[in-house]
Structure 1
Amino acid sequence: MNRIARALAIAAVLLGTATAPAASRPAASRPAQPDVCRTEVRRIPTTERVVALTFNAAWDEGGIAATLATLRQRAAPATFFPTGQFAERHPAAVRAVAAAGHGLGSHSYSHPHFSTLTRLAMAREVWRADAAIRRAGHAEPLPLFRFPYSETTPQAIAEVNAFGFTDVEFTTDTKGYLGTARGMTVDKVVERALAALTPGEIVQMHVGNDVGDGGHVLDAEALPRIIDAVRARGYRIVGLGALIRLCPQGG
């Protein structure tokens, strides 16, 4: 979907106009875009020894500065999945991610359970998030969507595909967002990332947590060790732009 069509779709859904273009109509039976993956993606489809680092952003931005500093120091790319509400609350954080050259995907607008939503509500979640992330980041986001709670269904995936997005989930979640109060440690975060090491692994981390944790953001603290250990085992770290090129026929 080109930029003009996407902008029209965003406006139509947000305004609720009856003349919304086909790309924005939840009820439209429109085939998936040719450049999307039509099933959930939990690893990059490759045999190369590569790993993608991804970060969800739905709560606070406490780990953003440290995460970006580590990625810069180690020359490692990453992909960030903010919610639209996060982008509205923390536009400087989203802008910093884009300015550093990292990819921006979408994690919905308000982080709801998609299984409870109508098709129209799904569309609004997708397009409101897209608009908010664009405003905050001053950049073109990647056409990648990650469902809240990793709650995917064939119908929901088909909906986001119809809007031109690929659903990207993860091979492993480090669970760093649980924090020390719920039994997580930096060591456990690193162990979870490495235990799932495989060609095309997608690691899910978070830039903050949903409860106060004394200033600790375990994923940010563990990131230097994760990067160093992955590379020591002969893997390269890649951005998820590679995924787009590997799904040219909606595989």
Structure 2
Amino acid sequence: MEKKLLLLSILCALILALLMGVIYKYLMNQEYLKEQNNFEEQVEKIIESELLEQDKNQIDQSKRGDNQYNKYYMFHSKTENKNTINELEAQTKAASQQMKGFRSIIISYVDEEKVNDTIVNRNLVTKKYIWDKKAKSFNYSGKVIELSEILLYKNRNEPRLKDIINDEADFLAIKRIVQEQVLNIHASSKYTLDDEEINYVLANDFLTNNSKITIYPNTLEVFFDKEVFGIKKMSISIEKILPFINPKIVSDKDVLKKELDTSKKYVALTFDDGPNDTSTIKLLEKLKKENIKATFFVLGQMVDRNPEVAKQIVREGHEIGSHSYTHPDLTQLHPKEIKEEVLKTDKAVFHATGVLPKIFRPPYGAINGSVAQIIGLPIIQWNVDSEDWKVSNKELIVNKVVQTVEHGSIILIHDIHEISVDSIPDMVNHLRKNGYEFVTVSELLSYSQKPLNQYFGINDNRKFK
């Protein structure tokens, strides 16, 4: 009997314990559900609060879920481009990894911010919140904002190149940069490009003022009006085209070009009519010894004869410009002949160096508006003439330069004359003693020189009418 009572007591205790466990589990589950409901309610409140200032019509797509770290929520328009969505997903994932180990939520969305009267920044915003178990509430844990795209007020939906430039000179400058990039991309898939392929790029109107664009923080994506070698679009560094676009669209101030130190004096040495395989090579050795970068205005026919010398000019950091193919007075030629002089030199220089000339010096300085229009490059003249072509004494050459030079001068010399090359060490010594530093023409002009303009010095820019 006692045994039965003992067994019954044990059984009752077990039943009671089981019942208490069930009740405890029920109560805990109810508490969990209550906390979870509170968690979910606060999540929705945070989402509502974050998106309150957003245009609800622009946020019609959402993505949410659990990953191994936490809950994430993404919001964007159904018309959003794939690149932006991919960037938003990557940013969300990175934030989730940072919050590993915490019960948290990540909220990401596309936001727009007015910057000035020209542009709106499209930002990717990701905010992080950590759940405080004791307080049973979320604590804000910071945010990440990345600039994704720049929109224009005037034409935000389908911006065109013409929307960000001022005139034809800007367009021609950008076009030359694009032409060189197209040639180099195509050349990278082959050993060499033939003349017909280069002609095709330089003569083809695949880029126009009306070409579509997308503006990113540090690059401009240009969509060609027609394919070139299968290339439909291209990204160009904002830094490269900065002088030729509306500066208001530049959001990253780090890409702004730094101008020359105004407390110093600068001059640009320029050399015409080469390259040859004797005096030009000798000159390059002297410039290297003096640690000077100069600008060479080459003749296309001389480049064809001495491609390795032209290649050395570029390889050693000097600037190369066009001086026509045969050195004629361009103002006396038919437009077709002018085009041929320019085109043949472009091809010669690109074949030899992999770059296109971006500046032009007309033979004899002879130029007018119609010729400048055909050339389509900035015209670089000079304000100091060494007159080395008519003297045979290096002291006279040096004195002529030293006596007429000033800050910002562009100095004309010819690297085809031995006496001119021999004068360089003394000339450099005199100029340095007088406080001058040496730069290329483009450095002197802060890379802002434009087609349909001619430049005689740092402060002497004359626009063709």
TM-score (norm. length: structure 1): 0.75
CA distance in structure 1 between the aligned counterparts of 2:347 and 2:311, rounded to whole angstroms: 14
Report the equivalent of 1:76. Answer: 292
Question: Closer, same or farther in 2 for the Cα pair 1:111/1:23, shift >3 Å?
Answer: farther
Kindly report which structure 2 residues correspond to 1:147-186, keeping only aligned pairs within 5 A, or say none.
Answer: 147-161=362-376, 165-178=377-390, 183-186=391-394
Report the equivalent of 1:241. Answer: 442
Q: Secondary structure at the match of 2:389?
A: helix
CA distance in structure 2 between the aligned counterparts of 1:201 and 1:96, rounded to whole angstroms: 25
Question: Closer, same or farther in 2 for the Cα pair 1:12/1:149, shift >3 Å?
Answer: farther
Could you tell me which runs of 5 or more consecutive residues in structure 1 were left unpaired when the two chains were aligned: 25-32, 37-44, 210-216
Alignment of 1:201 onto 2:377: no
CA displacement at 1:218 relative to structure 2: 1.1
Report the equivalent of 2:92. Answer: none
Report the equivalent of 2:28. Answer: none
Q: Is the contact made by 2:365 and 2:381 (CA closer than 8 Å) also made in structure 1?
A: yes
Question: Closer, same or farther in 2 for the Cα pair 1:109/1:116, shift >3 Å?
Answer: same
CA distance in structure 2 between the aligned counterparts of 1:218 and 1:225, rounded to whole angstroms: 12
CA displacement at 1:151 relative to structure 2: 0.9
- One-letter amino acid of the structure 1 residue matched with residue 382 of structure 2: F
Kindly report which structure 2 residues correspond to 1:210-225, keeping only aligned pairs within 5 A, or say none.
Answer: 217-225=418-426
Report the equivalent of 2:429. Answer: 228
Identical amino acids, percent of aligned pairs: 22
- One-letter amino acid of the structure 2 residue matched with residue 153 of structure 1: N
CA distance in structure 2 between the aligned counterparts of 1:246 and 1:105, rounded to whole angstroms: 15
Kindly report which structure 2 residues correspond to 1:1-251, keeping only aligned pairs within 5 A, or say none.
Answer: 1=175, 2-3=178-179, 11=196, 20-22=203-205, 49-58=265-274, 60-137=276-353, 139-161=354-376, 165-178=377-390, 183-209=391-417, 217-242=418-443, 243=445, 245-247=447-449
Which structure features the higher share of strand residues?
2
CA distance in structure 2 between the aligned counterparts of 1:112 and 1:12, rounded to whole angstroms: 26
Once the two structures are superposed, residues 108-130 of structure 1 have per-residue CA deviations (whole angstroms, 9 ceiling, x without a partner) of: 11111101212221111111101
CA displacement at 1:57 relative to structure 2: 2.5
Q: Which has the higher contact order (CA 8 A, sep 6+)?
A: 1
CA distance in structure 1 between the aligned counterparts of 2:265 and 2:371, rounded to whole angstroms: 31
- One-letter amino acid of the structure 2 residue matched with residue 190 of structure 1: V
CA displacement at 1:208 relative to structure 2: 1.1
RMSD between aligned alpha carbons? 3.2
CA displacement at 1:170 relative to structure 2: 1.2
CA distance in structure 1 between the aligned counterparts of 2:450 and 2:313, rounded to whole angstroms: 27
- Of 237-246 and 143-152, deviating more is 237-246
CA distance in structure 2 between the aligned counterparts of 1:51 and 1:145, rounded to whole angstroms: 18
CA distance in structure 2 between the aligned counterparts of 1:157 and 1:223, rounded to whole angstroms: 31
Report the equivalent of 2:14. Answer: none
- One-letter amino acid of the structure 2 residue matched with residue 113 of structure 1: D
CA displacement at 1:244 relative to structure 2: 5.2
CA distance in structure 2 between the aligned counterparts of 1:4 and 1:49, rounded to whole angstroms: 32
> Which ranges of 4 or more aligned residues in structure 1 deviate by more than 3 Å?
4-8, 10-15, 33-36, 45-48, 58-61, 246-251
CA displacement at 1:226 relative to structure 2: 1.0
Larger radius of gyration: 2
- One-letter amino acid of the structure 1 residue matched with residue 369 of structure 2: P
Report the equivalent of 2:152. Answer: none
Question: Closer, same or farther in 2 for the Cα pair 1:192/1:4, shift >3 Å?
Answer: closer
CA displacement at 1:4 relative to structure 2: 5.9
CA displacement at 1:245 relative to structure 2: 2.2
TM-score (norm. length: structure 2): 0.42
Report the equivalent of 1:213. Answer: none
Question: Closer, same or farther in 2 for the Cα pair 1:175/1:53, shift >3 Å?
Answer: same
